Amino acid sequence: MRYGYKASAEQFGPSQLLEYSRLAAELGLQTVAISDHFQPWRHHGGHTPAVLPWLGAAGATIPDALLGTSVLTPTMRYHPSIVAQNFATLGCLFPGRIFLGVGTGEALNETPATAAEWPGAKQRRMMLREAITLIRQLWTDERVTFEGEYYRTDRATIYDKPQQPIPIYIAASGPLAAKLAGRAGDGFIATSGKAPELYEELLAKLAEGAQAAGRDADAIDKFIEIKVSYDPDLEYARNACAFWAPLALTPDEKSGIDDPIEMEQAADKILDRAPSRFICSDDPDEVVAKIAPYVELGFGHLVFHAPGDDQERFLRRFCADVLPRLRERFDGSPP
């Protein structure tokens, strides 16, 4: 089992986020995974620090922690070759401590930055698959001339490559993306708070994709962001979720929204739903009990996303009250 901290770039500026991430590592969380947003979920009070320089600063100031993206989209705002170069450099600077988490993206981040038309789901998956192929080729080969459907390179070389391979984690919220993760990912990223049947389907498709590619599904790191608002004051824990009300919007309610102002307006209409995507509790044993089904499904890399403005308050209480109980139950560690 591995436990980590979700560094929410949509909610905090770069320096504050770095301090929270450093504290998380000091308190025993072994992974720091940062979201990569060009625009936040909310216009007022939102942030979007650039992930690539932030990871360099994090690697230099947070010893030992595994660092990576959850997730970056290497298909529109970034050309895959630029992603390959940046992560190769990070891998050289911090050997064995970097992972690249990728996904098909969201219109909110990609279309405002590029003014490009937002592709359909199938095309986004095809773009992601091709991008991963190109990134890996650039990490292993010299003078790469790549002629894909979406990307091309001409005698491209990355001159500084890490000796230790950088794992690529693929995020999936649907069966076809999960199958791609099984075929091409070193890790699989999911998010909590959805129907249990969905996770069963995603993991089955992950295994199916791995089998088709002649890979061992058990060797794929199963990573899940668990949304949890724990505090001894239950009302505080519930109110802390307000910033993240956009996560409680249905697909129809947020369809076509690529503007933080519009997203904020839509979310403010359903603030009462905000806690529904989080484990909200004042009881550490209840939190562990609600996390347990994810572990029982096979997730062994748990990264905790807390919604409140006071992340230090959450981290200190969660790591004092909940983390030891998780380790006792799932690792056999003494309390």
Residues classed as catalytic: 37, 106
- For 265-293, what is the HEC assignment? HHHHCCHHHHHHHCEEECCHHHHHHHHHH
Length of the chain: 335
How far is it, in rounded angstroms, from Cα 193 to Cα 100? 24
- Backbone phi and psi for residue 16, each to the nearest 5 degrees, phi listed first: -65, -40
How far is it, in rounded angstroms, from Cα 324 to Cα 236? 22
Listed in sequence order, the residues at least 6 apart from 108 whose beta carbon sits closer than 8 Å to its beta carbon are 37, 39, 41, 257, 258, 259, 260, 263
Q: How do 152-156 and 144-147 pair as beta strands?
A: antiparallel
**DSSP string covering 4-20, please?**
EEEE-TTTS-HHHHHHH
Token code pair at residue 13: 């500026």
Residue 158, CB-side half-sphere exposure with 13 Å CA sphere = 26
Residue with tokens 């292993």: 140
Query: By the 8 A CB rule, do 62 and 25 touch?
Result: yes
Query: By the 8 A CB rule, do 209 and 287 touch?
Result: no
